[in-house]
A and B are shown apart, each in its own frame.
Chain A
Amino acid sequence: MTALDFVDALPRTDLVATSNSYLSDSDVCDCDCRGCDKCDTGDSDCNTSKD
């Protein structure tokens, strides 16, 4: 199965989220690094800096 087939089968509305919403700045860690403690501390080495 392709990922496209899979996502096609998910329940959803017919409404496409606007680009502004899904690209909006976040106040939370979205880096998926599973335990990063550097978020929001201003550490320039942390890749969790906001988009």
Chain B
Amino acid sequence: MLKSFWIVLGYGCQNRCSGCYATPSKFKNKWISLDKAKQIIDIMHECECNECILIGGEPSIYPKIYEIVEYLRHKHIRAVIVSNGRLFSNKNHAQKIFSSGIERVVVSIQGKDKETHNFITNCNSFEETCSGIMNCSTYGDVSTITTLSDLNSEQWGEIAKLSRKLGAKIVSYNCIIPAISEKSISHISGLNPEKAAKVISQILANALNYDLQFIRVNLSIPACLIDRHLLDSAIKKNLVMMGCHMYKGSGVVFDSQNHLLPCTHFNDVLLSDDVFKNGKMVWKNGRDFLSYWMNESPKIFREKLNMYRDENCIDCDLWGTCIGGCPLFWSYYNPKDYINLKEAK
């Protein structure tokens, strides 16, 4: 059942991107200990997970990043890091992350130029990020990810050109998802599902017309907002990523603050705040964790999640993959205003 796990190594980051899911954490510079990270990896290995996504905050500035990557390699778990790329502007770091065993570096690039990228990241980061992408492409696989927002969605084509020029193998896009915390739900600079559908439709249409096989779009909005012929063609060409690990229970997130989360976009909204007691993980082994995952609060969470968001979803043949779009959208928007909205097509 479980395939992937995320470790939020800490919420510290050099950037302050608008709309970042980590904003409610105030980017606290509290890292997970190497010992705890290894315990998580051991348990996930016993659960037969075969992919770990290292994320933050900014995972590359975690003091023991190479040790973790090497440990994952030792356990034969694929390691992916999602980064702002800045540290990799130093070639030694770019080389070392790949020689430690990382399979892919995914770098977040938010604009076609320094004005846009720096504005969104709220700091002077563009040149280091570009240099980081280029250096990573020298030593291994690097992809880019752009979070589409009101501030950069018109630049998607130029961002793709820039990313490819810098050496990105894959150029991917997602949308800003509402940032969830106990105290607030925000969608700063976010595109509503209808606006997002228009941009995504443009990207897919161009990718198909010009045979841009390196494009990937993470379709977090309801699939019915995209013209069906366009969507089917894009799916056939492998341009679209859909679905959500939360529904199937195929992914789980551990953060640096003793929390178990359903998704990285949940901040202090928790499945458990009791992952470690006296420095030891509360589950003795993988079997113990799977028993919890399959039978306790995570199971109830999946059951509650697995309800149709709208009557229009009931007979939709795409429900299984679309699941009515990312559920976090519906903490901020009303599904009735968007699902099966013909005007967006």
Contacts and interface: CB of A to CB of B under 8 A. Distances in A.
A26 B243 contact: yes
The number of chain A residues touching the other chain, given as a range, is 35 or more
A6 B320 CA distance: 22
A22 B248 CA distance: 8
B308 A3 contact: no
Interface string B294-337: 00010011011111111101100001110100010011001110
B212 to A, nearest CB: 13
Judged by DSSP, the binding face of B is: mixed
A11 B170 contact: no
Contact of A30 (B144, B297, B321, B327): B321
A25 B82 CA distance: 27
Interface in A1-51: 1-17, 21-37, 39-40, 45, 47, 51
Given A24-B320, A32-B53, A32-B251, 5 more contacts: A3-B262, A6-B269, A12-B335, A27-B235, A34-B218
Interface string B236-251: 1010111111011011
Q: Which of A7, A17, A34, A39 has the most CB of B within 10 A?
A: A34
B195 interface: no
B172 A34 contact: yes
A12 B313 CA distance: 11
B307 A13 contact: yes
Contacts, number: 159
Interface of A: 1-17, 21-37, 39-40, 45, 47, 51
B270 A2 contact: yes
Interface residues of B, number: 66
B71 to A, nearest CB: 19
B119 to A, nearest CB: 23
List 8 A-B pairs, minimum CB-CB distance, nearest first. A30-B243, A35-B143, A24-B320, A35-B170, A1-B182, A12-B307, A26-B321, A7-B304
Interface in B134-163: 143-145
B221 interface: no
15 contacts: A1-B269, A2-B270, A3-B271, A9-B331, A11-B334, A21-B319, A23-B248, A26-B320, A27-B236, A28-B242, A34-B82, A34-B241, A35-B143, A40-B238, A47-B50
